[in-house]
Chains A and B, each alone.
Chain A
Amino acid sequence: MKQWKMPVLEVLDVNKTFG
């Protein structure tokens, strides 16, 4: 059995994430 983690939808801030 695979380990379960609560699924989360993360909205990425493009300026912070990619510069």
Chain B
Amino acid sequence: MSRRVFRRYVLPTLTIAGLIALWQVLCVVLDIPVWLLPAPSLIFQKLVEWGDKLPLHTWVTLYETLAGFALAIAVGIPLAILIVYSEVLQNTIYPILVIFQSVPKVAIAPLFLVWVGYGAISKILVAFLVAFFPIVVDTATGLNAVPRELMELMKVLRASPYHIFKKIRFPAALPHIFSGLKVAITLAVIGAVIGEFVGSDKGLGYLILISSSHMDTGLAFGSMAILAVIGIGLFVGVAWLERVICPWQTTEHQ
């Protein structure tokens, strides 16, 4: 086993495993009440116990997250392109976006319930709303981050705006877009859970809410663990996509 493998994979795994073991030991030794802080073994037991129902709740939250994220990409990237290319839109849409961003999304979530009802759509919209802003901002930043000399070169060559976009600006923006996507995907998970908190009858957020109100702390922790796995998994997925689509960026960073 090389030193690098040890540092990158083994060391963090051991640290996390050690912390969980410490948690277990403290719960048992200090005799902490279950409703206050359940031991990891109990959380695991709960996860097994709920094994037949958890997949549905997990799927619902995952679906809401991904749908919100996809919507945020579909709206965010074209909007950023419009903002960068049109000064009028930059001076009209952009301020509105900033105002929207400064409104706490938790405050808007109940309104979605009123507007679109109790179903998945209200959660998707909250996930979309929180994921959307970093995508717009980072895409716009990326499109403007082309070296000045390169733009001059394009002018000298009398390149068409379409060519400049396709061959220079968009590829140059990709690393920025991906850093926006990485922030957005983790926010989308939070958005979906907030949406479920406000009003739902399924999903991991719903499960956390009802289990805490029943003092079933073990199940709440179990649901949170699944949420963490979803969040990490999606983040890793986007990071992997970045390495595949823009390898020049990631290798530079290593």
The answer to whether A and B come from one shared complex is no
- Residues on A lying within 8 angstroms of B by beta carbon are none
